[in-house]
Chain A
Amino acid sequence: MIRFEGAAKRHPDGTVAVRGLDLDVPAGRTTVLVGPSGCGKTTILRMVNRMVVPTAGRVLLDGADVASLPAARLRRGIGYVIQQAGLFPHRRVIDNVATVPRLLGWDRKRARARAAELLELVGLPPETARRYPAQLSGGQQQRVGVARALAADPPVLLMDEPFSAVDPLVRAGLQEELLRLQAELGKTVLFVTHDIEEAVRLGDRVVVLREHGEIAQLADPHTLLTAPADAGVAAFLGRDRGLRGLGLRPAGAVPLAALRPSYDAWELVLDQEGRPEHWRRGGERHPAPVFAPDRDSLRSALDAALLAPSGHAVAVDAEGRAVGTASRAAVVEALAAAGPVPGQVPHAGR
């Protein structure tokens, strides 16, 4: 666990970056620091691995003051991912990832074997290992950055706007990947972003910051969206909070109806494996929007129902086969029945 005790940072010129932060970052969960630029979120993150030394207060890692260890040794036990990946351009990808194990004294062979495992874990093909960073796309570089941070299996992972510099589609893929990794690894993740969507999507807990690193609200994503602490937080969250909140609720609550031969003159056409192909009415054809009840959110289900010409969203299983349909009314019913959702919920679907 990471604990901030009155941690403050005042620059030599007198400007205050962080006025004095008290915060517990629980182990094994993802905590997201979010706020406008200049709110001190990166400074707070960098206090953990002593890239920034607090001018007052302290930061504890599992009960020990981070100032009590030599900086380099402390950092080798903490994963660190930054916005531009910061890969070493003259080293092959595999050796970039093997950096920290090598610093920890592993022999080259073992470090490289570990690095190869990591590359696979973050979803990079094996041939990537021999390439140089400049030969990779931005998204791939970012994956290498994550692999490098995880190489020595640190319990804590610091991520400073790691996905901000890639395009939205790639970013969504990387976010998805991080959720998958985190479900598998259960690291203590401290994640900094200025993007509230990203915060809500990735965080088990979201810390909304305002100027000087003051906490405006600390809540789980659902509470944040449905009950912002004040007008400032609400403004920062932006429009359509309620609708976006649906993205945090599982679609499993939607009652499904069995497939029918026709829906008000519309007919659902399936392929040979039973996957929906399109809606047909006479010679007219429309795509058939689908949702996966066990993986997608209520928002995806509602979206699919709204887009379907027949007004029925098609529910599909993991193989994409149609298992039932949900009318707009059925989805709305599920919306009405859904109270506040405690604990873990699926994140916004595609």
Chain B
Amino acid sequence: MNWLGWLHDFFADPAHRSGPDSVVHRVLEHLAFSAEALGLAVLVALPLGLLIGYSGRGLFVVTALAGVARALPTLGLVTLAVLLAGVGDAAVLLPLTALAAPPVLVAAAEGVRGTDPDVRDAARGIGLTHPQTLLRVCVPAAAPTLLAGLRTASVQVIATATVAAYVGLGGLGRYVIDGLATRNYPTTVGGALLVVLLAVAVQLLFALLIRLAAPPGTRTRARRAGRTGRTEEPVPVDDPASPPALVKETP
């Protein structure tokens, strides 16, 4: 039997159409885990990252975490969490949060730090307080970087949330792990495909958000820079809703 046949079997299975083992239910479970983990990560890492980026203190933490994030053995963490906390939500949420937090922290810190120093200087100089400068000037300026960090985190979390099934919880990992355990390859392949599709869909959603977060005019500049070979924000799409640039570039 080939791939397509397996996939057909997977989606044709009535158990995958409705009930607790249905595709919709498993996808929702998967998303719920992932969103919870991402939410926790944001709750912890975002304020810390913003403060580190704004104050410039503790940047070494960011540098260190940027490397650690990729080397994190999630499966090992899950096992450890199960040993420490027993089987349950926490055993999955904690490792996933630990996985999602570093990219969010790094992005928040880098994004805020990357705010144009002149813009920051002007903000302070015309009378914004530090919290106002951070929240009204630096955070919007950091938004594209921040969203890119969230995108990285969310994709990693969605991919890794598959391990939730390993400790007996739901989500798309159920298909993969149960399928492997029972040598039911259609189920494994179907589950894997769904994980990939989900990750791609979330990627696309973030790509759209990132595009919307860049202020009009800067996108035009990015395109111009791209043509001359300089590297800048890789969002070379014009927003049709934005008013036309006042200064036309000459071809």
Q: Is B122 an interface residue (CB 8 A)?
A: yes
Q: Tell me the dominant secondary structure on chain B's binding face.
A: helix
B127: chain A residues at CB < 8 Å are 72-77, 100, 103
| CB–CB A83/B125 < 8 A | no
* One of B120, B121, B246 near A131 (C-beta < 8 A): B246
B220: chain A residues at CB < 8 Å are 134-135
Mark contacts of A86-122 with chain B using CB atoms, 8 A cut-off: 1 yes-contact digit, 0 otherwise: 1111110000000110010000000000000000000
CA distance A91 to B140 in the complex (A): 9
CA distance A49 to B246 in the complex (A): 33
Q: Closest Cβ of chain A: how far from B205's Cβ, in Å?
A: 21
Q: Is A133 an interface residue (CB 8 A)?
A: yes
| CB–CB B129/A72 < 8 A | yes
* Given the contacts A131-B217, A134-B217, A89 and B119 also touching, CB distance less than 8 Å: yes
* One of A77, A86, A135, A158 near B217 (C-beta < 8 A): A135
Q: Is B88 an interface residue (CB 8 A)?
A: no
A148: chain B residues at CB < 8 Å are 126
CA distance A51 to B127 in the complex (A): 10
| CB–CB A89/B218 < 8 A | yes
| CB–CB B118/A149 < 8 A | no
Mark contacts of B161-194 with chain A using CB atoms, 8 A cut-off: 1 yes-contact digit, 0 otherwise: 0000000000000000000000000000000000
Q: How many residues of B contact A (CB 8 A)?
A: 30
Which of A73, A89, A148 is most buried by chain B, counting CB atoms within 10 A of its CB? A89
B124: chain A residues at CB < 8 Å are 51, 75
Q: Is A132 an interface residue (CB 8 A)?
A: yes
A103: chain B residues at CB < 8 Å are 126-128, 132
* One of A51, A86, A140 near B119 (C-beta < 8 A): A86
Q: Is B19 an interface residue (CB 8 A)?
A: no
Q: Is B12 an interface residue (CB 8 A)?
A: no
| CB–CB A51/B246 < 8 A | no
Question: In B217-247, which residues have CB < 8 Å from any A CB?
Answer: 217-218, 220-221, 242-243, 245-247
Question: In A122-154, which residues have CB < 8 Å from any B CB?
Answer: 128, 130-137, 140, 145, 148-149
Q: How many residues of A contact B (CB 8 A)?
A: 37
* One of A72, A87, A136, A137 near B128 (C-beta < 8 A): A72
Q: Is A291 an interface residue (CB 8 A)?
A: no
Q: Closest Cβ of chain B: how far from A135's Cβ, in Å?
A: 4
Q: Is B36 an interface residue (CB 8 A)?
A: no
Question: In A24-59, which residues have CB < 8 Å from any B CB?
Answer: 49, 51
Q: Closest Cβ of chain B: how far from A73's Cβ, in Å?
A: 7
A72: chain B residues at CB < 8 Å are 127-129, 132
| CB–CB B118/A83 < 8 A | yes
Q: Is B38 an interface residue (CB 8 A)?
A: no
| CB–CB B217/A87 < 8 A | no
CA distance A77 to B125 in the complex (A): 11
Q: Is A84 an interface residue (CB 8 A)?
A: yes
| CB–CB A88/B137 < 8 A | yes
Q: Is B13 an interface residue (CB 8 A)?
A: no
A149: chain B residues at CB < 8 Å are 126
Which of A49, A74, A76, A134 is most buried by chain B, counting CB atoms within 10 A of its CB? A134
| CB–CB A82/B215 < 8 A | no
Q: Which 4 A-B residue pairs are closest in the complex by CB-CB distance?
A: A86-B122, A134-B217, A76-B127, A75-B127
Give chain A's interface residues, CB within 8 Å of chain B.
49, 51, 72-77, 79-80, 82-91, 99-100, 103, 128, 130-137, 140, 145, 148-149, 158
Can you list 8 pairs linking A and B with CB atoms under 8 Å apart? Answer: A76-B127, A85-B118, A86-B122, A88-B136, A89-B141, A135-B217, A135-B246, A136-B246
Beyond A72-B127, A88-B140, 20 additional pairs, beta carbon < 8 A? A75-B126, A79-B126, A80-B126, A82-B121, A86-B125, A88-B123, A91-B215, A99-B128, A103-B132, A128-B246, A131-B216, A131-B246, A132-B242, A133-B217, A134-B215, A134-B218, A134-B221, A135-B216, A135-B220, A135-B246
Give chain B's interface residues, CB within 8 Å of chain A.
116, 118-129, 132, 136-137, 140-141, 143, 215-218, 220-221, 242-243, 245-247
